[in-house]
Amino acid sequence: MKKYKEFLITADPFNEEILSGLLWQLDLNGISEEVNCLKVFVESESAVSINDISKILDSALYEKLLRSFNIEENIVENKNWNEEWEKSINVIEVSDRIVIKPTFREYENKPEQIVITIDPKMSFGTGEHQTTKLVLTMLEDIDLQNKKVLDVGSGTGVLAIAAIKLGASYAVAVDNDEWCLDNAHENCQLNNCTDEVEVLLGEITDVEIKDFEVVLANIQKNVLLSLKSEIAARIKTNGILILSGLLENDEEEIVREYSIFGFTKLHLEKMDDWIAIKFEKL
């Protein structure tokens, strides 16, 4: 039976979406998201090593995305990767109103609940992580009726899809990862919103619309800082901006740098070490 190298990765803080996004730079056979760790699989003959993974995670330490990490290597026999992946994806009750489920899980929704069907595959944004939950709960408190929404770094498209289900008339989901393009298209089809959500492969600079009422970005701090002028250029006066993918100690710098572009902080929500900040563009 074919054998694989299994790398078991723990980190503080543990953000499976950021970790997965970083590690897919390598030539991997699969990633399994566990409760407090990631399991990364490569063929036993693969050149991918602990050193390769450590170099990527050392960069994350330098950028203050992580405080620490640990890697263990094992040899395992061949697995049904799809079955392993499905085991790690569950129904997520984000709030009393919003539920996220994959196609292979049954869920009997309650009256007034919004059920979003997301099959993440190799994209990121299952709803499991604290930052996604924070953005979704903040979205619930916004009047989205007939609004245009921009989701920057959209991954599975979950935030753009949620915005439509909460009343927005149109959303743009942009990501520079080809996996995200295909996956977001598929998830829009699953949620019957292909006409309302435009999925783009590219950067925020490829988004031509400049009058969004709501902009969402659940990305790590350094990327958010680099995008601040482009985000400011695409949101209307009095528009709402929600930023997440942030740790508590990121707040001061994010608020300071975004205030230069006319954003004032309205509200902050916290879950474990993670935060989301709601701004208004003045």
Nearest one of 10, 217, 235 to 125, comparing CA atoms: 217
Give the pLDDT confidence score for residue 29 in this predicted structure: 76
Q: Which residues of the chain have pLDDT under 70?
A: 1, 78-88, 120-126
Task: Name the region of 153 (left: φ>0; alpha: ψ -120 to 50; beta: rest).
Answer: left
Nearest one of 79, 78, 59 to 69, comparing CA atoms: 59
What pTM, to 2 d.p., does this model score?
A: 0.79
223 Cβ contact partners less than 8 Å away, ≥ 6 residues apart: 153, 245
Task: Name the region of 64 (left: φ>0; alpha: ψ -120 to 50; beta: rest).
Answer: left
Q: What is the DSSP string of 133-197?
A: HHHHHHHHTS--TT-EEEEES-TTSHHHHHHHHTT-SEEEEEES-HHHHHHHHHHHHHTT-TTTE
Give the pLDDT confidence score for residue 226 in this predicted structure: 95
Neighbours of 65 (CB within 10 A): 20
Give the pLDDT confidence score for residue 268 in this predicted structure: 98
pLDDT in tens, 10-32: 999 888 778 887 887 788 877 87
Give the pLDDT confidence score for residue 20 in this predicted structure: 80
Q: Which domains does the chain have, with CATH numbers?
A: 3-86 (3.30.70), 89-281 (3.40.50.150)
Give the pLDDT confidence score for residue 124 in this predicted structure: 57
pLDDT in tens, 227-251: 999 999 999 999 999 999 898 989 9
Instruction: In whole angstroms, give the CA distance from residue 49 to residue 57.
Output: 13
Give the pLDDT confidence score for residue 168 in this predicted structure: 98
Instruction: In whole angstroms, give the CA distance from residue 99 to residue 21.
Output: 24
Give the pLDDT confidence score for residue 69 in this predicted structure: 95
